[in-house]
Amino acid sequence: MQFGVHLPHIGRKASPQLIRRAAEQAEALGFDDVWVSEHIIVPRGAAYPPSPAFYDPVLTLTWAAACTKRVRLGTSVLVLPMRHPLPLAKELGTLQNLSEGRVILGAGVGWMEAEFAALGAKFHERGKRMDEGLALMRAVWTQDPVSFPTRHIEALVEDMRMQPLPCAPIPVWIGGASDPALARAARHDGWHGSRVTPENAGPLVARLRALRPDPAFTLSLRTRWDGADEPAMAAAFAAYARAGVQHLLVEPQERDADAWLRAVERIARLRPA
């Protein structure tokens, strides 16, 4: 099983210096990838996320790419229907080239209606915008020139060019555990679930493998660790592996910078051999 670690780009602990230290640490400790999350703007006093302080995900990964050579760079997840897909495709394609092919696009439909409203995005059409936006992004990443008719995205793309094309395909892993999310994931390169216990992982893995038996289709999960019980966390890692999860992203819950880095060292020791 491959392992990734979340970068500390959220909350009061986040800083350019800490993000750099964390990315370099992850590479030195042998993690396969580093990850970021996304919220652009949130209501004051919202119960979740616990902090409104989010460094931009794509720029954070660009910063991490500049100080590493090997670790992949993933988003967990970008809320695609909030964004126009063309500038995002340009940003991710550029990052793919700057990093020499290390990007993984984790993508989801989102859930915070107020955030959509602030950005002028249509919340109740987010599933359709997600599918059309992903198709448009793949088109501009692979076709030159490109024409793409749209119904749900505000775009007129007829005989146009977006260069340079990415140096390698950008894998798309779909987040979510609803029936539409699982069906959407099966149409792409992988599934990136979250908040799924080891006991519940097996049935979800079985459903996805029935849809996509190809082992190249990646089954990934995101989990949190508060640092309280190392044996329990090690047992959870092993249980996820037995359930058929191929990739695990671990997010420490420490709010202090030094405690975060120490937690990542402990996670590295707990990974199955």
- Residue 81: phi and psi, rounded to 5, are -65, -15
What's residue 272's pLDDT? Answer: 86
What's residue 26's pLDDT? Answer: 98
Cα 207 from chain centre: 21
Please list, in sequence order, all residues whose beta carbon lies within 8 angstroms of the beta carbon of residue 13, skipping any fewer than 6 positions away. 254, 255, 256, 257, 260
What's the domain count of the chain?
Answer: 1
Please list, in sequence order, all residues whose beta carbon lies within 8 angstroms of the beta carbon of residue 242, skipping any fewer than 6 positions away. none
Token couple for 130: 């997600």
Q: What angle do CA 55, 6, 82 make, to 5 degrees?
A: 50
Rounded average pLDDT over 8-18: 97
State how far the Cα of 113 lies from the Cα of 42, in Å rounded to an integer: 10
Q: Is the pLDDT of residue 239 over 90?
A: yes
pLDDT digits (tens, 9 = 90+) for 126-149: 999 999 999 999 999 999 999 999
Rounded average pLDDT over 162-167: 98
Q: What percent of the chain has a predicted confidence (pLDDT) above 70?
A: 100
Residue type, 250: V
Rounded average pLDDT over 9-27: 97
Cα 111 from chain centre: 15
pLDDT digits (tens, 9 = 90+) for 186-220: 999 999 999 999 999 999 999 999 999 999 999 99
Q: Is the pLDDT of residue 18 over 80?
A: yes
What's residue 121's pLDDT? Answer: 96
What's residue 132's pLDDT? Answer: 98
What's residue 47's pLDDT? Answer: 87
Tell me the C-alpha to C-alpha distance, in Å, between residue 89 and each of 141, 219, 273: 7, 24, 37
Tell me the C-alpha to C-alpha distance, in Å, between residue 191 and each of 6, 47, 217, 220: 17, 27, 8, 6
Confidence of residue 77 (pLDDT cuts 50, 70, 90): very high
State how far the Cα of 48 lies from the Cα of 55, in Å rounded to an integer: 16
What CATH number should be reported for the domain holding residue 241?
3.20.20.30
What's residue 273's pLDDT? Answer: 74
Token couple for 40: 């652009």
Rounded average pLDDT over 53-73: 98
State how far the Cα of 64 lies from the Cα of 264, in Å rounded to an integer: 16
pLDDT digits (tens, 9 = 90+) for 100-132: 999 999 999 999 999 999 999 999 999 999 999
Please answer whether residues 27 and 68 qualify as being in contact, where contact means their C-beta atoms are separated by less than 8 angstroms.
Answer: yes
Please list, in sequence order, all residues whose beta carbon lies within 8 angstroms of the beta carbon of residue 147, skipping any fewer than 6 positions away. 157, 158, 159, 160
The domain containing residue 10 runs over which residues? 2-270
Cα 267 from chain centre: 19
State how far the Cα of 253 lies from the Cα of 242, in Å rounded to an integer: 25
Rounded mean pLDDT of the chain? 97
